[in-house]
Structure 1
Amino acid sequence: MSYLPHPDSSLRVVNCAIITVSDTRTMETDKSGQLIRKLLENANHQVTAYTIIQDEPADITTALQKLKTCDNVEAIILNGGTGIAPRDTTYDAIKKLLEKTLPGFGEIFRFLSYQEIGSRAIASRAVAGVYQGKLIFSLPGSSNAVALAMEKLILPELVHLVGQITGIK
């Protein structure tokens, strides 16, 4: 049985931006970014921006600063760069920008990941929060991790969380 504490309008379309953070992916090879787009569109949400950027803190910050001024973006979903390798800088770049964090997102994501991949889930620094009135999710770059986060956490709560931020339900 699924429990929803507050009924949300299933008709509400959320305008979303996708940012893939990768030193190697292209639009043709970005399976995770394409999966995010497909899942959002299948849930009747709108993808208003989609880009691939290098795993550089300045590039990540610049991309988010550009999107904060876009009226047609309510949520931003990043994928890639959430691990602990030297080139994984997404978490470090966005943690400084988030005005509010949703600790439950990362905690539940890692719990669900643990059920699928075991103790390797501890290396994920998936995070969510609010930046300049935009809902931000930062996911690992793995397509399996993207599917897990989108299907189990993001899509079920996207309308509600954006409504909390914008006041539009």
Structure 2
Amino acid sequence: MNRIDEGLDFIPVRIAVLTVSDTRGLEDDRSGATLVERIQSAGHIVADRAIVTDDRGKIADRLRKWCADRDIDVIISTGGTGLTGRDVTVEAHRDVYEKEIEAFSTVFTMVSMQKIGTSAVQSRATGGVANGTYLFALPGSTGACKDAWDEILKLQLDYRHRPCNFVEIFPRLDEHKRRK
């Protein structure tokens, strides 16, 4: 089902990585570092990287700032997607979304089920679109970040992926905002 059309040129995407944590800094942010390494290895550009605390308003503010930046195409956050009281990343993402990509959660759960079985029900990974920017909220575990990137995002963020991908519809994400 998934295939790369080698006859097409690869188009690098500019991706910002946001780690949501009350305890991590850049020096010990393994999940953020894993995403950065995979993004760059795939040929994409890390446009920015930041860490914010588990605060819904701060997370949403950072997402909005990056969505307004024309040099950022995609935002991937890691952390804060669980069930505890401090896990507010999903709510912050939804505060920003214009449209939610419901199938992202479903596909992520399917991938997770293969790796961690029924423990996958504890993740609330989500995806959406705002201001012509894709946003994805991943769990804080390094394994979950690897799974989401390797099994979903690496393919969907590759213009050559067939039968379809996120990159080819970039120009139409904000068509509703243009004057007719």
SS at match of 1:68: helix
Q: Runs (4+) of structure 1 moved beyond 6 Å?
A: 5-8
- Larger CA Rg, structure 1 vs 2: 2
Note the alpha carbon deviations across 1:88-121, whole angstroms, 9 max, x for none.
0000111122111111111011111112111111
Structure-2 separation of matches of 1:107 and 1:6:
26
Aligned residues: percent identity? 33
Using structure 1 for the length normalisation, give the TM-score: 0.92
1:4 to partner: Cα distance:
4.2
SS at match of 1:28: helix
Structure-2 separation of matches of 1:92 and 1:27:
24
SS at match of 2:128: strand
Aligned residues: 167
Structure-2 separation of matches of 1:121 and 1:8:
37
The 5-angstrom pairing of residues 1-169 of structure 1 reads 2-4=1-3, 9-159=8-158, 160-166=165-171
1:129 to partner: Cα distance:
1.1
Amino acid in the other structure paired with 1:67:
W
Are 2:73 and 2:133, in contact at CA under 8 Å, matched by a contact in 1? yes
Distance 1:43 1:14, change over 3 A: same
Are 2:60 and 2:95, in contact at CA under 8 Å, matched by a contact in 1? no
Structure 1: tracts of 5 or more residues without a match = none
Distance 1:109 1:118, change over 3 A: same
1:3 to partner: Cα distance:
3.1
